[in-house]
Structure 1
Amino acid sequence: MLSQAKLQRINELARKKKTQGLTPSEAEEQRLLREEYLAVFRKTFRDHLDRITVVEADHH
């Protein structure tokens, strides 16, 4: 899971991008944070899917 501080920074950069724009270093920071967020999201989602068991109903 991504730390609360990193999530806050992602949101902070997103707000700044909409209002003022980002410096090149902030844009790179945002890109890296988003990549990290998506990697964590994908892993969590995949782990969740791997634990799902499909049970078929008996149709008699």
Structure 2
Amino acid sequence: MDIDALVKRINELARKAKQEGLSQDELLERAQLRETYLQNVRRNFRQQLESIEIVDK
């Protein structure tokens, strides 16, 4: 699942949670989607940090 589709589904579940609540399956799906999103953010941030080169002058 690409990041845009992931965020879209998370937002759909968030709206539904506010309006009518979520079933147990939807709560589980939301938790899994959030964890996938966070793993992606962490991986990208780690890559950015690893690409930084410190130069002393």
Distance in 2, matches of 1:45 and 1:16, equals 30
> Does the CA contact (< 8 Å) of 1:10 and 1:30 recur in 2?
yes
CA deviations 1:2-57 (Å, max 9, x no partner) are 4322211011101111221111000000000001001111000000011112234x
Q: Which blocks of at least 5 consecutive residues in structure 1 are unaligned?
A: none
% identical equivalent positions:
46
How many residue pairs match? The answer is 57
Distance in 2, matches of 1:42 and 1:2, equals 16
Structure with the higher helix share, 1 or 2: 2
Note the aligned Cα RMSD (angstroms). Answer: 1.7
- Greater Cα radius of gyration, structure 1 or 2: 1
> Does the CA contact (< 8 Å) of 1:13 and 1:30 recur in 2?
yes
Segments ≥4 residues shifted beyond 6 Å: none
Distance in 2, matches of 1:28 and 1:4, equals 20
Q: Which blocks of at least 5 consecutive residues in structure 2 are unaligned?
A: none
- 1:7-46 matches, cutoff 5 A: 7-46=7-46
